[in-house]
Amino acid sequence: MTSSAAEAKATPPGEQGGGNGLLWVLVAVAVAFAFMRPRAPMDWLRLVDWETVGALAGLLAITQGVEKSGMLQATAQRLLARTHNQRSLALLLTASASFLSALVTNDVSLFLLVPLTRVLANQAHLPLARLVVLEALAVNAGSALTPIGNPQNLYLWHRSGESFFAFMAMMGPTVAVMLFWLFVAVWLLVPRTPIALKPEAEATPVQPRLLALAGVLFVGFVVALDRHWLLAGLGAVFGVFLVAYPRVLRGIDWALLAIIALMFVDLRQLAELPAVVALLNHWPITEGWRAYLAAIAASQFISNVPAAILLDGHVRDLPALAAGVSVGGFGCVLGSLANLIALRLARVPHGLREFHRISIPFLLVCAASALLLRLG
């Protein structure tokens, strides 16, 4: 493995890309609310949806186990070494990102694939910024399919009371539209230019026992979530890793968990402000296409996770809200935390400009297509 790949693999998720600016902004907002609207400590804790945070914690632990087993990296490197042109490579990366994000969350998929993409770009002439932007679009699209794919789905799943597969069936049509346009974008934006990849100097070590353990824990944890046995599932996941592979727990992105918890704290207090309540009550966004478009618009300014939290109390149409915050992950870079993570990991000049050049038209096309599907 090259030195840059080793560094990307060794760096904990919370330290990638330099700092946790969003975390400190949320802390500052929480402190401001503490002075403006004082409340008892237990009331602060009740603002957080602990089921969503706990589910995300267990999934992050399991995906750290998968990452540290080396299997995903080794498999990706073998597949990428067999590609012959840039379009094939882009299709492989975006398909992998879409698939992985549905299973191991969108941000974790990026932590696995973006560093690998950066290493490959060091070894061959590749459009790194474009590939990373397409990966960001791919994880936003793929993660929308399952209740465990992203934080907003976890939150809405718990709120809906639907089973795991019923939620997937609800999201299926919207995800199909997003994936269709994703692969159209790859076909149009990435040419069939030949590439030559150098062989890796050192093979990635694979730990089959750790991979098997993570797989068993994943299945058990999903069953526990579906049956609402969150504490038992968390106890099993963290207990097994603590005893068998404690280094897995050290790699968890604890800052991401803090960010999600603080989003609940800040956005729920924001939603309680009289001016905001009056504004949301005045707008006819309770259901249908208005709810869908409101979710997209809110996501562009405050990201799709807090948009789901903010609008949840005002929108009665759960499918419209879920579809809107999923599509709302495209467009502005703030639409999804995954967008910021991808660009931070890529470390490419002019990455923000390239992102908006692709993502804004992509949002417009996907939003219109998914809306027509819903109306039809």
The predicted pLDDT at position 369 comes to 95
DSSP track, 186-202: HHHHS---B--PPPPSS
- Cα(23)–Cα(16) distance, integer angstroms: 14
More confident residue, 271 or 288: 288
In sequence order, the 6+-apart residues with CB closer than 8 A to the CB of 362 are 137, 181, 182, 185, 330, 331
Mean pLDDT across 347-362: 90
**Distance of alpha carbon 5 from the chain centroid:** 22
The predicted pLDDT at position 67 comes to 79
The predicted pLDDT at position 204 comes to 64
Please state the φ and ψ torsions of residue 194, each to the nearest 5 degrees: -65, 145
Neighbours of 154 (CB within 10 A): 26
The fraction of the chain above a pLDDT of 70, given in percent, is 90
Q: Which residue has the tokens 């799709």?
A: 304
> 43-47, 107-111, 167-171, 369-373 — which is least confidently predicted?
107-111
More confident residue, 201 or 182: 182
Q: Which amino acid is at 359?
A: S
pLDDT > 90? residue 292: yes
Of the pLDDT bands very low, low, confident and very high (cuts 50, 70, 90), residue 361 is: very high
**What size, in residues, is the chain?**
376
Give me the helices (H) in the chain, please. 3-10, 21-36, 41-46, 50-69, 71-81, 86-104, 106-123, 128-143, 151-160, 164-189, 208-226, 230-244, 246-250, 254-272, 274-282, 288-302, 304-312, 318-327, 337-346, 351-375
> 76-90, 163-177, 212-226, 241-255 — which is least confidently predicted?
76-90
The predicted pLDDT at position 8 comes to 38
DSSP 40: -
pLDDT > 90? residue 228: no
- Cα(28)–Cα(48) distance, integer angstroms: 17
Among 330, 250, 320, 315, CA closest to 289: 320
Query: Which tokens in the block code for residue 306?
Result: 């807090």
What is the 3 state secondary structure string of 53-94? Answer: HHHHHHHHHHHHHHHHHCHHHHHHHHHHHCCCEHHHHHHHHH
The predicted pLDDT at position 18 comes to 40
The predicted pLDDT at position 49 comes to 83
What is the overall mean pLDDT for the chain? 84
Among 289, 286, 294, CA closest to 372: 289
The predicted pLDDT at position 12 comes to 42
pLDDT > 80? residue 355: yes
Q: Which amino acid is at 205?
A: P
- Cα(254)–Cα(185) distance, integer angstroms: 34
Q: Which residue has the tokens 């402000």?
A: 273
- Cα(39)–Cα(262) distance, integer angstroms: 15
The predicted pLDDT at position 235 comes to 95
> 84-88, 116-120, 168-172, 222-226 — which is least confidently predicted?
116-120
pLDDT > 50? residue 24: yes
In sequence order, the 6+-apart residues with CB closer than 8 A to the CB of 201 are 1, 2
